[in-house]
Amino acid sequence: MSNVANVPDIILEPMVRNAIVEDLGAAGDVTTRSVLPEGTRYKAQMRARQDAVVSGMQVASLAFRLIDPDLIVETVVADGTACKTGDTLMRIEGSAASILAAERVALNFAGRLSGTATLTASYVQELAGTKTRITCTRKTTPGLKLVEKLAILHGGGHNHRFSLSDAILIKDNHIAAAGGIKQVLEAVQRNVGHMVVVEIEIDGLHQLDEVLQTGGADVIMFDNMSTEDMAEAVKRIDGRAKTEASGNVTLGRLREIASANVDYISSGALTHSAGTVDFGLDF
């Protein structure tokens, strides 16, 4: 089970509220309003229809409570916990109309985020016994970055930067625009405070010596480099910077990449290619 604490609901509320408003449309749930007598109460259970690592329970609970603060919502399986097919994840009791109004938003968040957590857990398991950690990237769904990053943590992975303001990450286009590796690293040393982490991307050993000679990089990212070249780069760096492998990262290549002794492997697939776990709400 992940030890990641939930973030305060107030941070998540605007995102969940927007999703609910989008789903309700201009007139709300016309189906439920047409077929259920006013005041109908019910008990519902969110259940897993496949094995998974759970994420999104906090968000799903918030969706129900935003629709109707009087709903009684009990989370049975916490975020970051594995579940089995048939497990009850959440119980909801109260107005049937309120439960039905929040149902799809709650399931969409829970299923999607659990898909990310489950995929992340498979990457973490594949790297078991190595020093290498798996991290996400900024290839997230616009508007859902925070919860997708939390899902990475729930799956046992680690987060890369959340936004452009978190750290310096010098990529090939920055190097080209600045005139070269020496120029861009010297500019960073002049302009950046000591509390900001600096990472630079290289695509071959031909760039590494210049990075090490110029200095100023806390992390060196190997972009689409061969495993042999990455292993050689790690030896040359010799602990002077953290190392990260990126590009062409698949589940089947993780052990091979980790054999280069890199500190981190970053993969955008954890967020942009994760499936959705099948959860259902049963009355």
Say whether 268 counts as a known binding-site residue: yes
Catalytic residue (choose from 17, 91, 139, 145): 139
Residue 145 bears catalytic tag? no
Residue 223 bears catalytic tag? yes
Say whether 191 counts as a known binding-site residue: no
Say whether 214 counts as a known binding-site residue: no
Say whether 104 counts as a known binding-site residue: yes
Strands (E), the chain: 41-48, 52-53, 72-75, 82-83, 88-95, 133-135, 168-170, 198-202, 219-223, 242-246, 264-266, 279-282
Phi and psi, residue 16, nearest 5°: -70, -40
Catalytic residue (choose from 93, 223, 229, 263): 223
Say whether 32 counts as a known binding-site residue: no
Say whether 203 counts as a known binding-site residue: no
In whole angstroms, give the CA distance from residue 83 to residue 77: 7
- The neighbouring-strand residues paired with 83 are 52
Say whether 171 counts as a known binding-site residue: yes
In whole angstroms, give the CA distance from residue 176 to residue 273: 30
Catalytic residue (choose from 17, 91, 171, 255): 171
Provide the pairing of β-strand 198-202 with 168-170: parallel
- The neighbouring-strand residues paired with 169 are 199
Catalytic residue (choose from 17, 104, 145, 253): 104
Q: Tokens for 98, please give them.
A: 């309120």
Say whether 229 counts as a known binding-site residue: no
Question: What residue has token string 């594995």?
Answer: 82
Catalytic residue (choose from 29, 79, 103, 201): 201
Say whether 273 counts as a known binding-site residue: no
Q: Which of 110, 151, 35 is nearest to 280 (CA)?
A: 110
Contacts by residues 176-184 (CB-CB < 8 Å, ≥ 24 positions apart): 180/210, 181/207, 181/210, 181/211, 181/214, 182/210, 182/214
Say whether 246 counts as a known binding-site residue: yes
Say whether 247 counts as a known binding-site residue: yes
Residue 22 bears catalytic tag? no
Active site residues: 104, 139, 171, 201, 223
Annotated binding-site members for substrate = 104, 137-139, 161, 171, 201, 223, 246-248, 267-269
Which residues are documented as binding site?
104, 137-139, 161, 171, 201, 223, 246-248, 267-269
